[in-house]
Chains A and B, each alone.
Chain A
Amino acid sequence: MSARHPAILVARRFLRRPIAVMGLAVILLFVLGAIFAPLVAPYDPIATSWSAIRKAPSMAHWMGTDENGRDVFSRVIYGARASMLAGVISVLIAGGIGVPVGVLAGFAGGWTDALLSRLTDAILACPFLILAIALAAFLGPNLTNAMIAIGVSTAPRFMRVARAATLEVAALDFIDAARTVGTTPFKVAVRHILPNIVPPVLVQGTLAIAAAIIAEASLSFLGLGQQPPDPSWGSMLNAAHRFLSQAPWLAIFPGLAIFLCVLSFNLVGDGLRDALDPRGQ
């Protein structure tokens, strides 16, 4: 790629924002921790120990131990797997449904657009978490179903963004030109429209990962996501809630992990938006 390639220009503008870069660094840290959890975590995250029940943070257990004597630090590291996976996969599901539907609605117009837009309105009318809870409840409580539930509930947002961006791009002259020379509508949509709506979809995607991580933690907190004994930040908080006066550290660290992770995705999303659209500043 030449130095004037748009992607490189965007990357340069992004790198000039120290706070967004910091967010990206924290995300990388979480991702590496999740991938190399067996190497990083000092203990087995599901091994119980009756001699170490609810011990306060110490040199041996940096974040203390939980009600079954498991090491909280190791569980927080392994918990990053559930959160990262849920964040990324549910957003891929949401984008996989929402973007094609949005492009179709924006490009086809007329009745197709009206029908798809009303359907999106209907899904958006159901409050996000309530819809996700209902879906997770009907599908059955586990991490996979939680990701599907979050993905389906998030899809309308991608549909809206993709539709708006498609309408904007479809009005440009080069689309007319492509149609005039006989390019099929499908090819126009895939070759000419899709690449041009990437920027807004990318920004929406980053911010949606932040929201999906909170949603997965929420479902797991309610008992509808990751099932015990496998660790997830949300389910750890559920257990911690019961031992608040005896073992406050159980509640502090998983929550801090969610906060840091979500904050970082929000910072990167904001940074990306500014880098992609320098006019917006």
Chain B
Amino acid sequence: MKSNIAGRIAQIVPTMLLVSVLVFCLQQLMPGDPALVLAGEERGDPRVLAQIRAELWLDQPLIAQYFHWIGRVLHGDLGFSWHIRQPVVALVMQKLPVTLQLGGMAFVIAVLIGVPTGIVAAVYRNRFWDYVANAVGLAGLSTPNFWLGIMMILLFSVNLGWLPPSGFVPLSEDWHQSLATTIMPAFVLGNAIAAVLMRHTRSAMLSALDQDYIRTARAKGLSNWHVLTRHALRNALMPVVTLGALELGALLSGAVLTEQVFSIPGFGKMTVDAVFNRDFPVVQGVVLVTAFLFVMLNLAADLLYVVINPRLRRS
């Protein structure tokens, strides 16, 4: 098993290497000369331009530029923001905790809604509650999360006045205010993932309930509750863990829109601001960091899968 885990970890290297090539290539899509953007007022001065090009290795062949860039990335240097004039790593470190709090809450909400509704749908297969759960799930999948956010602000902030429409208070400052500012965005962000989790849980539970050992458990006279929770659910949750981890990428994507709607100063808002300020080092840094996070979270899910599945542990 140890060699399996080592093999799985080794797989990350080529994937991340290719991601880095893709992110580097993004820069080549950009119209115009970055040195002109950076030079600002002094763009007419050929000496300034030459100096900037030399500093950024822009006067070197592409392959040399790539190795220079990846060398710095591996040393934890993602470059320098053109607009805010700060290292990209510092910006990411500053904004990421906000998004992680939001994403963490969203994932908890998604699991609390998605898994129980999936179980109910499977138990009442092809009956009323199954249809209700499926319809709600499909509606959740079809609702763009930024629109859901706007509608929730309309209802809970504008009409009812219960929650603030925007802003963010960190947990460490005032947990009560923090929850008040994040509950709506977290629900919006969790909504689509809840729908996906519900579908996965339903189909995993259906195939678990079809197994012979469930019939045996029922034949032994175990209560319905016991059969569901101890026998079916424990087996059904395993695929849900892996598939759920794949949704964490959707969480990062969704955060961009949710933070924009609720004016939350997180990672997503930083990305959008960087795009509009044509702050390309930040955009590149964001893609690289999110891809890395996603790959690591998937690895964590695969390892967790081994931990909770005794059959894999023994082999």
Q: Spell out A's residues near B (CB within 8 Å).
A: 118-119, 121-123, 125-131, 133-140, 210, 214, 217-218, 221-224, 237, 240-241, 244-245, 248, 251-252, 255, 258-259, 262-263, 266-267, 270
The answer on a CB contact under 8 Å between A210 and B142 is yes
For B260, what are the chain A residues with a Cβ–Cβ distance below 8 Å?
A: 221-222
Known contacts A118-B15, A125-B295; 7 additional CB pairs below 8 A are A133-B256, A134-B283, A134-B286, A135-B26, A136-B275, A139-B29, A267-B138
For B312, what are the chain A residues with a Cβ–Cβ distance below 8 Å?
A: none
Tell me, in angstroms, the Cα distance from A214 to B147 when the chains sit together. 10
Q: Does B185 contact A (CB under 8 A)?
A: no
Q: Which residue of B lies closest to A138 (CB)?
A: B29
Beyond A125-B15, A125-B295, A128-B249, whether A223 also contacts B276 by CB under 8 A is: yes
For B171, what are the chain A residues with a Cβ–Cβ distance below 8 Å?
A: none
Interface residues of B in 256-271 (CB under 8 A from A): 256-257, 260-261, 271
Stretch in contact with the other chain, from B41-49, B111-119, B150-158, B220-228 = B150-158
Main secondary structure of the interface of B (DSSP, over half): helix
For B294, what are the chain A residues with a Cβ–Cβ distance below 8 Å?
A: 125-127
The answer on a CB contact under 8 Å between A125 and B291 is yes
The answer on a CB contact under 8 Å between A118 and B18 is yes
**Contact size range, B:** 35 or more
For B147, what are the chain A residues with a Cβ–Cβ distance below 8 Å?
A: 237, 251, 255, 258-259
The answer on a CB contact under 8 Å between A134 and B26 is yes
Tell me, in angstroms, the Cα distance from A263 to B195 when the chains sit together. 13
The answer on a CB contact under 8 Å between B158 and A244 is yes
The answer on a CB contact under 8 Å between B252 and A127 is yes
20 inter-chain pairs at a CB distance below 8 angstroms, sorted by A residue, are A122-B22, A126-B291, A127-B294, A130-B286, A130-B287, A131-B287, A134-B283, A138-B27, A139-B29, A210-B142, A221-B146, A244-B165, A251-B147, A251-B154, A255-B151, A258-B147, A259-B139, A259-B147, A266-B138, A270-B138
B210 to chain A, nearest CB (A): 13
The answer on a CB contact under 8 Å between A129 and B256 is yes
> Which of B18, B253, B280, B291 gathers the greatest number of chain A CB atoms within 10 Å?
B253
Q: Which residue of A lies closest to B261 (CB)?
A: A241
Tell me, in angstroms, the Cα distance from A245 to B256 when the chains sit together. 23
Q: Which of A118, A255, A262, A266 contacts B150 (CB 8 A)?
A: A255
Q: Which 10 residue pairs are nearest across A and B when measured between Cβ atoms?
A: A122-B18, A129-B253, A255-B147, A263-B142, A137-B275, A138-B29, A127-B249, A127-B253, A262-B142, A125-B291
For B21, what are the chain A residues with a Cβ–Cβ distance below 8 Å?
A: 122
B211 to chain A, nearest CB (A): 18
For B151, what are the chain A residues with a Cβ–Cβ distance below 8 Å?
A: 251-252, 255
Q: Which of B18, B257, B271, B280 contacts A221 (CB 8 A)?
A: B257
Q: Which residue of A lies closest to B249 (CB)?
A: A127
For A122, what are the chain B residues with a Cβ–Cβ distance below 8 Å?
A: 15-16, 18-19, 21-22, 291
The answer on a CB contact under 8 Å between A251 and B150 is yes
Tell me, in angstroms, the Cα distance from A131 to B253 when the chains sit together. 9
B152 to chain A, nearest CB (A): 11
Tell me, in angstroms, the Cα distance from A230 to B185 when the chains sit together. 29
For B7, what are the chain A residues with a Cβ–Cβ distance below 8 Å?
A: none
The answer on a CB contact under 8 Å between A138 and B26 is yes
The answer on a CB contact under 8 Å between B15 and A245 is no
A112 to chain B, nearest CB (A): 15
> Which of A118, A125, A140 gathers the greatest number of chain B CB atoms within 10 Å?
A125
The answer on a CB contact under 8 Å between B139 and A263 is yes
For B252, what are the chain A residues with a Cβ–Cβ distance below 8 Å?
A: 127, 130
